Structure 1
Amino acid sequence: MTASPGPISREERAARAKAAFDHLDTPQDALVLFDDQFIFYYSGFAFFPTERPVALIITRDGERILFVPRLEREHAQQMGEAERVADYPEFPGHRHPLLQLTDLLGELGLSPASIGVDHDGYPPVMGYDGPELSEALPGAKVRRVSRALDHQMALKSPTEVELIRESARWGAHAHQLLQDYTRVGENETEVEARATKEATAAMIAALGETYRGQNRWMSGAVALYRGQIGVHSALPHAMTTGATFQHGDTLVTGAGAAVWGYLSELERTMFLGEASGEQQRFFGHMLKLQDIAFEALGPGRTCAQVDEAVRAYYEREGLWDHWRHHVGHSLGQRIHESPFLDIGDSRPLEPGMVLSVEPGLYVPGLGGFRHSDTILITASGMELLTDYPRDLDSLTLPA
């Protein structure tokens, strides 16, 4: 029996922090990061962002200092891997937390330094308001470096890929339960809850008591419709309505699982009862679009070239009225990461990148048609990390 993958090691996170400076276009004396996903990526501290600022300082020698509100101090000490945790009393407090952060940077000798940031100050979360870092620390040269850090995050390590594989495995299990429980007359919310609860219980039993999801977009093993049922499946980002399934419905699903901070994406188009001629026609076009994208993926190709290849099929088949979005996006910790399989993204694909591939067609009054699979760019091409059936027969539910 293959051992279940564990969390990212302390050594790998520490190495990431030191390597971050190698990805920068211009030399920086330190990094100050406010985005919770960057903070987790480099320090292992998973938390829910609120109006209280949290920051991670990374020095050139790789020292990591977490700056947190007092209520998070023990949490950061127990769950994070930073070499030091500094805290402030509360937001907004007698002295604003961003000013206390600049005091800390001064103690570290970074007041007149070159500092790379993801945001120039803490972003406006839950009513937060405060000065920009460049305003509070006028002696420093503050420069945004988030694009470079996004590139580092996009190149998944072997351990990260294994966690995403494990997510894909449990996402498929949740999806199979969703498919099994979907029948005419059943309720969307109840079916989603049943499939998700059972899949999560099975995953926890298999991965053991030490398992943690550590992902704020997903908890456990999840399978959902998100309101994409019947005519509402033509809305790419519909919201749950608690619909009752009916004969002839077009259904668009979503499934995945949180595994030590990492996730995958699996989506399928299904039908309740035999698909009509029009449903079959658009389903066939959708499969062809995804196949074209698969064929276009590989190291050295640009993200734009993949989207261009897919767009050519829309043009050739007269399908532009049913186009709504680009081919896909990177993913891993975040449900959406960069780069994007979009005509406007000229970045090259590189081995280690993990992306969704999900070109869709949306027909008002009939439904939406979208499969999404998670793929890995390899040295020789691409590898499917999700392997759920894609064909019409497998996705036609008994009515």
Structure 2
Amino acid sequence: MAFSQRLGAQFYAKIHSDIRARMEAAGIDLLLLDSNDDVIYTTGFSHYTTERPVVFAITATGAFLLIPELERSHATHQEIAAEPIVYFEFPGIDKPFDVLGRAFAGFKGTVAYSHAISLARVPQIEAAFSNAERVIPSNIVQQMRLKKHPEEIRLHREAARLSDKMVEVGVEMIRDAMRKGGALPSEVEIESYVSRQAMRTMHEEHEDVMLVQGLASGLVYSGQRSAFPHGMPTGNPVKIGESIILSLGCRVGGRAAESERTFFIGEPSKVQQEHYAVAFEAQRMATAALIAGRTCASADNLALAFIRDSGMGEYLLHRVGHGMGIMFHEPPWVEGGDQTILEPGMITSSEPAIFVPDFAGYRIADTVLIAEGGPDSMTVYPRQLDDIVVA
């Protein structure tokens, strides 16, 4: 039976009900959300973000989506959980927010907009709702998104499975080239191949595939280039004696996961093994510390302290991790400055790392669900030294 990516009308009704309860508590009569991820979360509508506004508007009794004419049929096809309000074009003779304002003619209550909204749009909202009692920012939906519903966790698990599969496919591509004795693939060739394979798998095994930006992709960086975090794939070929980082992920039903492993091409040297041992233990400690009731900061402090105590503090360049949901990076932040209390249903990455200049980077990353019984790593690709030598 095919895996369904669709979150049905019942799910969005639950989301809308929760938003309305929070609006009532905050004294908000109309809430406006315009970021791509908020629109996906509240309506199931995925679109290619451009300068044309797409805005979700919700009141105590209705849910609406402001869209340009070119998205009308697209929205209908996706069976969105909102009533369309259509404007023709941007910037428009008839301005998009003027069209939105007329749809709520005579509105005099409190209008709120997401913290993620463009500041340039705030004056347009104020002009469109000139009779409103107040126009204020609100983060109620961002707070909702911290904890995932079971329907969303199901999508994250499938994304995690496919992310592990992407790593497996990338390793096999390198291994196959080594068997044949020919040239080894480049970073960009590996990234392109695994992304195509993941998308092919989705279309073969899933129904109702939600097409989103960043459906399946990642970072592949090897040798000295792996010492640059988030190194974009280049034509740099994989080389025997070097290490390579495969940082790969995808979004299923608009929900993200990522799997990242460091591999050695051929037997690693003693220095490479020492570096990897520190990164391995730091990541194990970080994941184990993602416990409900503790803070995000506590996990970051623990793992980074271990790296510093191991004498490799100079190779630290970033935090332990970040939240994942509709976006690959979203709150909460697993970092010393974030005192958010971890709760069951939150999903974060666990990816402390070290980066040795002019030599190599070493990073292992998992997608971890905060659960009642302890951290639940949804990505499980092996990471012991014997498992990550490609020979």
The one-letter amino acid paired with 2:109 is A
> 1:103-252 counterparts in 2 under 5 A?
103-105=102-104, 107=105, 109-110=106-107, 112-119=108-115, 122=118, 131-140=123-132, 141-146=134-139, 148-182=140-174, 183=178, 185-207=184-206, 210-219=207-216, 222=217, 224-226=218-220, 228-252=221-245
Post-superposition Cα deviations, 1:161-183, rounded to whole Å, max 9, x if no partner, equal: 11111111122122111001114
The one-letter amino acid paired with 1:215 is V
Indicate the SS of the match to 1:66.
strand
Aligned to 2:332: 339
TM-aligned CA deviation for residue 100 of structure 1: 2.3
Using a 3 Å threshold, how does the CA distance of structure 1 residues 130 and 152 change in structure 2: closer, same or farther? closer
Q: Counterparts of 1:39 and 1:385 in 2: how far apart (Å)?
A: 26
Q: Counterparts of 1:280 and 1:31 in 2: how far apart (Å)?
A: 53
Post-superposition Cα deviations, 1:171-218, rounded to whole Å, max 9, x if no partner, equal: 2122111001114632233333333333433343222xx341432122
Indicate the SS of the match to 2:260.
coil
TM-aligned CA deviation for residue 239 of structure 1: 1.3
TM-aligned CA deviation for residue 136 of structure 1: 4.2
Aligned to 1:88: 87
> 1:350-361 counterparts in 2 under 5 A?
350-361=343-354
Post-superposition Cα deviations, 1:274-306, rounded to whole Å, max 9, x if no partner, equal: 111221111100011111112211111011111
TM-aligned CA deviation for residue 43 of structure 1: 0.8
Q: What TM-score comes out, normalization by structure 2 length?
A: 0.91
Q: Counterparts of 1:134 and 1:264 in 2: how far apart (Å)?
A: 38
More strand per residue: 2
Aligned to 1:43: 43
Q: Counterparts of 1:119 and 1:240 in 2: how far apart (Å)?
A: 33
Q: Counterparts of 1:187 and 1:120 in 2: how far apart (Å)?
A: 37
Aligned-residue sequence identity (percent) comes to 30
Aligned to 2:268: 275
Aligned to 2:58: 58
Q: Counterparts of 2:39 and 2:292 in 1: how far apart (Å)?
A: 29
Structure 1 unaligned blocks of 5 or more: none
TM-aligned CA deviation for residue 323 of structure 1: 0.8
Q: Counterparts of 2:128 and 2:197 in 1: how far apart (Å)?
A: 50
Q: How many pairs does the alignment contain?
A: 382
| Residue pair 2:48, 2:212 contacting (<8 A) in 1 also | no
The one-letter amino acid paired with 2:378 is L
Say if 2:255 is the partner of 1:262. yes
The one-letter amino acid paired with 2:259 is L
| Residue pair 1:121, 1:133 contacting (<8 A) in 2 also | no
> 1:59-74 counterparts in 2 under 5 A?
59-61=59-61, 63-74=62-73
Q: Counterparts of 2:79 and 2:58 in 1: how far apart (Å)?
A: 14
Q: Counterparts of 1:120 and 1:381 in 2: how far apart (Å)?
A: 32
| Residue pair 2:148, 2:346 contacting (<8 A) in 1 also | yes
Q: Counterparts of 1:364 and 1:89 in 2: how far apart (Å)?
A: 52
TM-aligned CA deviation for residue 156 of structure 1: 0.9
| Residue pair 1:34, 1:119 contacting (<8 A) in 2 also | no
| Residue pair 1:32, 1:57 contacting (<8 A) in 2 also | yes
Q: Counterparts of 2:101 and 2:118 in 1: how far apart (Å)?
A: 13
Using a 3 Å threshold, how does the CA distance of structure 1 residues 87 and 241 change in structure 2: closer, same or farther? same
TM-aligned CA deviation for residue 265 of structure 1: 0.7
Q: Counterparts of 1:196 and 1:121 in 2: how far apart (Å)?
A: 31
| Residue pair 1:96, 1:130 contacting (<8 A) in 2 also | no
The one-letter amino acid paired with 2:337 is G
| Residue pair 1:299, 1:348 contacting (<8 A) in 2 also | yes
Q: Counterparts of 1:312 and 1:261 in 2: how far apart (Å)?
A: 35
Q: Counterparts of 1:39 and 1:195 in 2: how far apart (Å)?
A: 28
Q: What TM-score comes out, normalization by structure 1 length?
A: 0.90
Aligned to 1:101: 100
Structure 2 unaligned blocks of 5 or more: none
Q: Counterparts of 1:225 and 1:34 in 2: how far apart (Å)?
A: 28
| Residue pair 2:55, 2:65 contacting (<8 A) in 1 also | yes
Aligned to 2:299: 306
Indicate the SS of the match to 1:201.
helix
TM-aligned CA deviation for residue 90 of structure 1: 1.0
| Residue pair 2:345, 2:369 contacting (<8 A) in 1 also | yes
Residue from 269, 274, 278 that aligns with 1:285: 278
Aligned to 2:361: 368
Aligned to 1:30: 30
RMSD after superposition:
2.1
The one-letter amino acid paired with 1:117 is Y
Indicate the SS of the match to 2:185.
coil
